[in-house]
Structure 1
């Protein structure tokens, strides 16, 4: 019985933490990093003053929590992964994975804008750069490992190139596009054709 109560409290705490992180993401996307304060998060989440600081004791802890939540919200669903797992590895499948990544980043506009804001803040504040680099490197290593395990074409160098290209494409689509008439999927397909090594 005590374990059940403890589990319920932990679940509520995790739900509250996620809700506060979502509020932080909304503040970041709307107001930029200068507007990101514990008080602003409390207001956005409609919780008592001091709630955010109870969950995220410092700005560094808050930033780390936001990176974690951004990763959760941008992750593919298990159903999406299962649907593609049964397909034969090929450049076409690689392109399908990339199109899905770009769709998620563009569809979750608020989350992606918040991520860009965090990256800019880390560039201005070296003390936050370590948290960003750790998060980015873990994500990159995960992408390289996934690509290899799935038998998809391209190696570490190509995955890095796709990170650079996709981040630029998404930034273009979420801000002021240089070529809004060209469908995003067509751009992804052209990148795959140009960046993957030829057989």
Structure 2
């Protein structure tokens, strides 16, 4: 068995996180064509061969990106909005729709501004799972976390069918992010506005929580 590169003193768990974060950054900047083991080593400042030691194949490296993206997105959800509002279903959060709309708008604002590159990488990497059956399991596993968290949120807000409502809320959130980041009018839209996003989030929650016809 080969030995891991030893130029860095970082433990394996930290090295894996560094590699995944660097890979995500490369995809955000250059698309999947920029994602190679050698490019990750260089961008992360790691000895040659480090990335291939921890993730032997490109498929394994992309799978690590899915897992890391899911971790970061769920951490944002758990942190609440920039205004301090927390989503219902999380510790210390009250089941209040207006507070939920403010928190969801804060998340959208974060992902459209400081988290923009990460979300673009996530969209780029998601298309690879649609083309490569070997990646489907990793991609679906990463996506289940967001849907589970969304189900808890809408259940706390009184949804009688939380799984169905969660699927709608996640789909609308994804659609809004894609439209604002990569849609046909993305470059000509004004900068994200928190008040406008709060109004949008309020409508999304109301629709997701409405009794089905």
Q: Same fold (TM over 0.5)?
A: yes
1:32 is aligned to 2:31:
yes
- Give the 3-state SS of the residue equivalent to 2:11 in structure 1: helix
Seen in structure 2, the aligned counterparts of structure 1 residues 78 and 15 have a Cα distance that, compared at 3 Å, is same
Q: CA RMSD in A?
A: 2.6
Deviations 1:166-199, CA, capped at 9 Å, x for gaps: 101111221244683573333222322333216x
1:194 is aligned to 2:203:
no
Of 134, 142, 145, the residue aligned with 1:135 is 142
Seen in structure 2, the aligned counterparts of structure 1 residues 136 and 86 have a Cα distance that, compared at 3 Å, is closer
1:103 is aligned to 2:109:
yes
Deviations 1:89-145, CA, capped at 9 Å, x for gaps: 132133133223313322311211111111111112122122111221243124323
Aligned 8 A contact 1:90 1:153 in 2: no
- 2:4 aligns to what? none
CA distance in 2, matches of 1:43, 1:130: 29
**Larger mean Cα displacement after TM superposition, 114-123 or 74-83:** 74-83
Seen in structure 2, the aligned counterparts of structure 1 residues 124 and 87 have a Cα distance that, compared at 3 Å, is closer
Deviations 1:51-80, CA, capped at 9 Å, x for gaps: 111111222321221112112222227553
- 1:5 aligns to what? none
- 1:3 aligns to what? none
Unpaired runs of 5+ residues, structure 2, are 1-8
Q: TM-score, normalised by structure 1?
A: 0.80
Of 122, 125, 147, the residue aligned with 1:118 is 125
Query: Whose helix proportion is higher, 1 or 2?
Result: 1
- Displacement of 1:87 in angstroms is 4.6
CA distance in 1, matches of 2:123, 2:77: 22
Aligned 8 A contact 2:23 2:35 in 1: yes
Seen in structure 2, the aligned counterparts of structure 1 residues 97 and 77 have a Cα distance that, compared at 3 Å, is closer
Aligned 8 A contact 1:33 1:118 in 2: yes
- 1:90 aligns to what? 96
- Give the 3-state SS of the residue equivalent to 1:76 in structure 2: helix
CA distance in 2, matches of 1:147, 1:117: 28
Aligned length: 187
